[in-house]
Amino acid sequence: MTVHVVGNACIDTTFRLPRFAVAGETLNASSHSQGLGGKGANQAVAAARTGANVALWTAIGRDGDGRRISEMLAGEIAALRATTFDRPSDCSTIAVDAAGENIVLSGVACAQAFDPIRQTALATEVGPSDVVVMQGNLSPDATIACLAMARAAGAQTIFNASPLAVGAAVDLACVDVVIVNEGEALSISGKATAQEAAAVLRERGARSSVITLGARGCLFLPQGPSDPIVMAAPAVKVVDSSGAGDVLCGVFAGYVSIGLSPLAALRMAVQAAAFAVTRHGTMASCPSAADLAGRLKTTRLEEI
């Protein structure tokens, strides 16, 4: 059983600010740093640290940043499937304010050129016991094709529908679990509450949905005629929220692949995301394998 994460990998540059700038304003950051990131890479590393067997299918440039990305991922992901392009490697600039809120701007030339079905052996490696995880960084056509291939192969599909393309309709016909934050859920659904949004996501084809609610935890609408479940998050001091959603998605996928129920896997994912917001960085904030193993022993997995 393998978790196939299909998505972007990039170099993140993070600026920590007392507050966000307004239009036309220049601010000096209190600190800045660089590191490995990208939603695909972040989620793959988080999944791997659960003990799951993980393959990352990604795209990088034939440049110095591409080499750095490959070198850093090699220590985390046993099966790194990187397609290279004569384009600049993807990058993100992340602004984090004093409250830990963030704004992210990304250059995604490689991700947008990446067509995993045409350019890789992904379709020949996905099997019925596997999990395929997608995000919104690839083109909509490539994303839909990968999800459809995975569904046809009998794999479980998890779609973190972020970032959202402006004006794009979100196709959930081949999605077993859709994961979005509250703002994204309301935008996709046109509804005013997370509970209403979850119902719309189901109507659009998703078998189940997870809507993250920040410090309030998440709302989970399971498959079938079920009521939504609100899962509280531990109370923590937020330092930087920029990597939390990716940690949640990756940890959830990893634990589902190794046999936990969706509810139990989500419990672990919420715990991991709460830990992530207490640390700086995106991938750097992800709990270690040892930390996740320790939490797995002490967490009451089915308790809400």
Tokens of 204: 């659009």
Of the candidates 128, 140, 137, 152, which has an alpha carbon nearest to the alpha carbon of residue 56? Answer: 137
Is 76 in contact with 45 (CB distance < 8 Å)? yes
Is 131 in contact with 125 (CB distance < 8 Å)? no
Give the number of other Cβ atoms within 10 Å of residue 116's Cβ.
25
C-alpha to C-alpha distances, 295 to 49, 67, 218, 265, nearest whole angstrom = 12, 34, 19, 12
The residues that bridge with 81 in the sheet, in sequence order, are: 57
Of the candidates 29, 47, 73, which has an alpha carbon nearest to the alpha carbon of residue 292? Answer: 47
Is 77 in contact with 55 (CB distance < 8 Å)? yes
- Helical axes 262-276 vs 289-298, angle rounded to 10°: 130
Rounded Cα gap, residues 20 and 120, in angstroms:
40
Q: Which residues are marked as active site?
A: 246
> Edge to edge, what strands does the sheet with 102-107 contain?
31-37, 10-16, 91-96, 102-107
Is 50 in contact with 254 (CB distance < 8 Å)? yes
Cα dihedral 154→269→267→158 (10° resolution): -20
